[in-house]
Amino acid sequence: MPESRKSRLTRPETLTALGIIVVAAGFLVPTSDLRAISALLPAVMLIGLIVLSSLLLLADQRRAGEGVPATPMTQSPKRVIGAFLLIVAYALATDFIGFYVSTAVTIPLVAWIFGYRSPLGLLIATVIVVGTIWAIFDFGMSQDFPTGRLLGR
Q: pLDDT tens digit string along 58-87?
A: 999 999 999 998 877 677 778 778 878 888
* Eight-state DSSP code of residue 44: H
d(CA 126, CA 104) in angstroms, rounded, equals: 6
d(CA 19, CA 10) in angstroms, rounded, equals: 12
pLDDT at 106: 93
pLDDT at 73: 67
CB contact at 8 A, 59 and 70: no
* Eight-state DSSP code of residue 10: G
pLDDT at 62: 95
Q: What is the mean pLDDT of each run of 10 residues along the chain (153 residues)?
A: 65 88 92 84 89 94 91 74 86 91 93 89 96 88 84 65
